Structure 1
Amino acid sequence: MFKKIILTTVSVLTLLSLAACGQSSETKDTSSDVRTLTDAQDHKVDVPKKPKRIIASYLEDYLVALDEKPVAQWTVGEGKIQHYLQDKLDGIPTINYDLPYEDVLKFEPDLLLIGSDGTLEGGKYKEYAKIAPTYVVKNGEDVTWREQLEDIAKVLGKEDKAKKVETDYDDLVKQTKTDLKDKIEGKSAAVLWVTNNSAFMVASNRSSGELIYKELGFEVPTLTKDISEKATSDFSQVSLESLSQLDADYLFLVNSDTGAAMFKDPLWSSIPAVKNNHLYEFDGNSSWLYNGPIAYTKIIENIKDVLK
């Protein structure tokens, strides 16, 4: 009888122990699947450690740089996509830039990365959060592509990869400044975008302007300085009359309107860089209108190709 009691007690304890171990193991596994992070809007977000269906509208450059593929990619209207990324994103379906609720739901994401506070106006965050963990990435005028890359890398657990991306980029900038030293030092440049027969100039501290002037070291033309002081976006409209006085050694043109009437105007031909055959043209599908490590790498490669 005593022996039976002992055996019964041992059996019960063993079962309780196994149950406790199983419960402990299950809790541990569950907790290891997610991490709680605080995003740019102070939301506490339970982020999956290995998301498999990411939507990151207009942040695809960073995903590709970190060896990730979204389940849907950014578009504006019909066929307007980031063409320079299509070697990695070819075949990925599109989703409109403003992320319609029904479309997001259709793609069944397990992580939403939001790159602009404006995307969430009108209480959209709560709606998105019902679909999937929604993380607002650092954004705003003073936020650099490096800060966005590092923030996204933190969410994806790829901090080491982000460091390598930055190191490779910095090495490219350094090498380019060495290779093109005689083409850069003491030389000024401007970046112009022509679309719908209108010209827009990049500000000196925004987008490709940051790269051209701060990183590569081209001098800033007077007209670009004037425009930059009042700039409220990456590109600011500029008249053809003003352009005819542009004192830039090089003019990098992003041409989204090859048949623009302005190109036949005598004022266009009188622009010093155009007159001196220092006009370098890239089509509207190039990376010059975008931000991110891949976009900037391709811009540097373009500059190297035309100035070598």
Structure 2
Amino acid sequence: MMKHVLPVLGLSVLLTAPVAVQAEPLTIMDESGAVVTVPKQADRIAAVSLFGADLAVALDEEVVATTYLTKDTVPAFLEAELKDVPKLGSRSAANLEVLAQQKPDLIIALRRYTEGWSDEFNAIAPYLAVHTESFNESLSAVALASYMMGRQEDGLSLNDQFLYDIDAIAEKVPQEKDKKTFLFLWGSGTSPWAYYDDYATVSIMNALGVRNPLGSNPTPHDRNNFAFEMNLEKMIEIDPDFIVVYDRGPEQPFLTNPIWEELKAVKNNKVFFVKDHWMASHGPIARQVVLREAAHMFYPEIFEEVSFDAVKAHVKQAWQ
């Protein structure tokens, strides 16, 4: 048997991987404390989050339904695989009627958006609730969900490959005494949300020799406090070298604030507008794309641009 050391929420948990195909019922306690049992091999996956769809695609499993992050938009990094898959609406208000019609074997959902509907989900199919927002939670969620799909060995291989790739890319990064700074922003108002180190996307960026000046969540007792609304007056005080903005569409009033044009990153053309995978960087494909896109943003002279197809092929090689 292959053994994998998996960091989960600051701990190291030793997992012994079973064979990839499991005919017996699979049971696990998910992150809501509920016991989840899949009575047969889970071949039809419903994703009430992009995480579930990402993992299923990475393992070549069938996605029978999925929610979206941006309304009526198929995420670019999974467009080929999801363009014809029935849509359930948003991750916080999935259409249960459409979900039931797809007859899934397993529903993979984000706990924070769906826990109140657990009975309704379980009436349709086994419902697995996971946390995914932080770096360690991404690793834990991949391990839990892949186990429930009868693919624990392969899921752990995805995690191993990701950790190896971060180290390999970080080794090529110039070691600078004064690290350049960045902000990761999301929002459609006058004060965008700025993310702390705890968010998975920011953790990946921090691994590349740059620094998020906001640091960690100042209220760790509130595990959902991943960001705060930052006005432009505060932003100009920080004046980061790079700004990465999740681009949900045209309504981003903070971009028209006169202060925006005074920011160093704006003047130096170091503002990057990114798509859904940067907000959903918890799945095995999205996190690998973010890692490579971020490396190219910060060090274009060292790291080339990557294609989604190339990253998917690389991810799948971890278990094939």
TM range (shorter): 0.7 to 0.9
Displacement of 1:173 after TM fit?
1.3
Deviations 1:25-69 (Å, cap 9, x if unpaired)? xxxxxx945334333344443314422322121122222223223
Show the counterpart of 2:5: none
Indicate yes or no: 2:197 matched with 1:207.
no
Show the counterpart of 1:177: 170
Query: Secondary structure of the equivalent of 1:195?
Result: coil
Contact 2:28/2:35, CA 8 A, preserved across alignment = yes
The one-letter code matched in structure 2 to 1:133 is: P
Query: Secondary structure of the equivalent of 1:245?
Result: helix
Show the counterpart of 1:111: 106
Q: How does 1:59-138 map to 2 (within 5 A)?
A: 59-75=52-68, 78-96=71-89, 97=91, 98-116=93-111, 118-121=113-116, 124-137=117-130
Indicate yes or no: 2:264 matched with 1:272.
yes
The one-letter code matched in structure 2 to 1:255 is: D
Show the counterpart of 2:293: 302
Aligned counterparts of 2:250 and 2:112: Cα–Cα separation in 1: 34
Aligned counterparts of 2:69 and 2:243: Cα–Cα separation in 1: 28
What 5-or-longer segments of structure 1 have no aligned partner? 1-30
Identity %: 20
Aligned counterparts of 1:110 and 1:144: Cα–Cα separation in 2: 23
Displacement of 1:81 after TM fit?
4.2
Q: May I ask how many residue pairs the two structures share in their alignment?
A: 270
The one-letter code matched in structure 2 to 1:246 is: I
Aligned counterparts of 2:39 and 2:176: Cα–Cα separation in 1: 48
Q: Which stretch shows the higher mean deviation, 39-48 or 287-296?
A: 39-48
Label 1:290 to 1:183 Cα distance change in 2 as closer, same or farther (>3 A): farther
Deviations 1:195-240 (Å, cap 9, x if unpaired)? 2454221112113122222x3342232xx23x84258543321101
Displacement of 1:246 after TM fit?
1.6
Identify, as 1 or 2, the structure richer in helix. 1
Aligned counterparts of 1:60 and 1:156: Cα–Cα separation in 2: 13
Indicate yes or no: 2:260 matched with 1:256.
no
Query: Secondary structure of the equivalent of 2:192?
Result: strand
More RCO (CA 8 Å, sep 6+)? 2
Query: Secondary structure of the equivalent of 1:70?
Result: strand
Query: Secondary structure of the equivalent of 1:102?
Result: helix
Larger Rg: 1
Show the counterpart of 1:164: 157
Aligned counterparts of 2:252 and 2:131: Cα–Cα separation in 1: 37
Give the alignment partner of residue 180 of structure 2, picking from 184, 187, 191: 187
Q: Which stretch shows the higher mean deviation, 61-70 or 73-82?
A: 73-82
The one-letter code matched in structure 2 to 1:299 is: V
Contact 2:265/2:271, CA 8 A, preserved across alignment = no
Give the alignment partner of residue 218 of structure 2, picking from 229, 238, 244: 229
What 5-or-longer segments of structure 2 have no aligned partner? 1-21, 301-320
Show the counterpart of 2:313: none
Contact 2:173/2:208, CA 8 A, preserved across alignment = no
Give the alignment partner of residue 51 of structure 1, picking from 42, 45, 65: 42
Give the alignment partner of residue 142 of structure 2, picking from 126, 131, 149: 149
The one-letter code matched in structure 1 to 2:154 is: K
Displacement of 1:143 after TM fit?
5.8
Contact 1:246/1:272, CA 8 A, preserved across alignment = no
Aligned counterparts of 1:280 and 1:184: Cα–Cα separation in 2: 23
Aligned counterparts of 1:163 and 1:142: Cα–Cα separation in 2: 15
Show the counterpart of 1:289: 279
> What is the TM-score when the length of structure 1 is the normalising length?
0.75
Contact 1:114/1:137, CA 8 A, preserved across alignment = yes
Contact 1:192/1:201, CA 8 A, preserved across alignment = yes
Contact 1:255/1:281, CA 8 A, preserved across alignment = no
The one-letter code matched in structure 2 to 1:203 is: Y
Displacement of 1:158 after TM fit?
1.2
Contact 1:56/1:115, CA 8 A, preserved across alignment = no
Displacement of 1:165 after TM fit?
1.2
Where do 4+ consecutive residues of structure 1 move more than 4 Å?
Answer: 138-143, 182-185, 257-261
Displacement of 1:286 after TM fit?
4.0
Indicate yes or no: 2:30 matched with 1:35.
no
Q: Which stretch shows the higher mean deviation, 46-55 or 236-245?
A: 46-55
